Amino acid sequence: MQLQNRFKDEDKIRVWIDHPYSALSGSNQNCSLHHIYSCSEDDTDSIYNGIMLDYEEHKEADTHNQFEMGDERRIKYLALAIRQIMRSGYINKPRDIRFLEKIKPDFEKAVALLRDNII
């Protein structure tokens, strides 16, 4: 498997080791990290900005501009990423805190989905 994107190697390894399956389907076929928010923005290398998807899911997600994919899908992806990260014991880094502050309204919606067991 090869993960090619702007995530730091240590974060790619952590996500792959802790969660080698798609967060959506549970598949482990050609999985890779997908940026939830556009990778042209600052602070998007936060581990919270990545979700493991299989090849077909990633291809579908990439056909949408991340800011136009729809709030519902983006928040669902974010909630799944948050759940995976929380389970892994990851300790937030300054870039993660900056990223979460930047997306605070979406972060709060994603946490509410998790809290209410919707995701």
Kind and range of the H or E run holding 104: helix 104-115
Residue-averaged pLDDT of the chain: 81
Percent pLDDT > 70 in the chain is: 76
Asked if residue 36 lies in contact with residue 77, where contact means CB atoms within 8 angstroms, the answer is yes
Instruction: Express each pLDDT in 33-49 by its tens digit.
Output: 888 887 655 667 788 98
Q: Among 5-14, 86-95, 110-119, whose mean pLDDT is lowest?
A: 5-14
Measured CA angle at 12 (ends 11, 18), to 5 deg: 85
Asked if residue 29 lies in contact with residue 58, where contact means CB atoms within 8 angstroms, the answer is no
What pTM, to 2 d.p., does this model score? Answer: 0.80
Cα separation, 4 vs 55, in Å, equals 13
Cα separation, 84 vs 51, in Å, equals 9
